[in-house]
Structure 1
Amino acid sequence: MNQTIELIISPDGQSRIETQGFRGEHCRIASRFLEQTLGKTTAEQLKPEFHQGVSDQAHLQEGS
């Protein structure tokens, strides 16, 4: 599957970043540069893909 990052800017200047084709934390890593450039994040909506592909090792590190 292709990985894409889409930046959507509405007429009133609000911006939204949508990622596709990423699993787990990789979407946040890939779009971080845009989030930092745009400034403060006011909301986040995670897609089901965010919760897929998380390895057992990642769960162990979070629980440590």
Structure 2
Amino acid sequence: MKQILATFGPDGEIRIEAAGFTGSDCLEATRFLEEALGRVDAQSLTTDYYQTSNEGRLQQGQ
């Protein structure tokens, strides 16, 4: 299941995580939030980013 998770810290920091996406789909899915919020201070990519769509389906048993 694809999800976008946003965590708001007490200091105003906002963390956005995309789960269930593979490849650059996660960047496309969160772009609207990044644009709305204004600036990105840091970005880290998970191993899901480096997978192709077929690899993601194989791991999920599809």
Range class of TM-score, shorter chain: 0.7 to 0.9
Distance 1:41 1:53 in 2: 25
Instruction: Specify every segment of 5 or more residues in structure 1 that has no aligned partner in the other structure, as ranges.
Output: 56-64
Give the partner amino acid of 2:26. Answer: C
SS in 2 for 1:6: strand
Give the structure-2-normalised TM-score. 0.82
Count of aligned pairs = 54
For structure 2, the 5+ residue unaligned runs are: 55-62
Q: Highest CA radius of gyration, 1 or 2?
A: 1
Displacement of 1:54:
6.5
- Matching residue of 2:23: 24
Percent identity of the aligned residues? 39
Change (3 A) 1:21 1:54: closer
Runs of at least 4 residues off by over 2 Å:
none
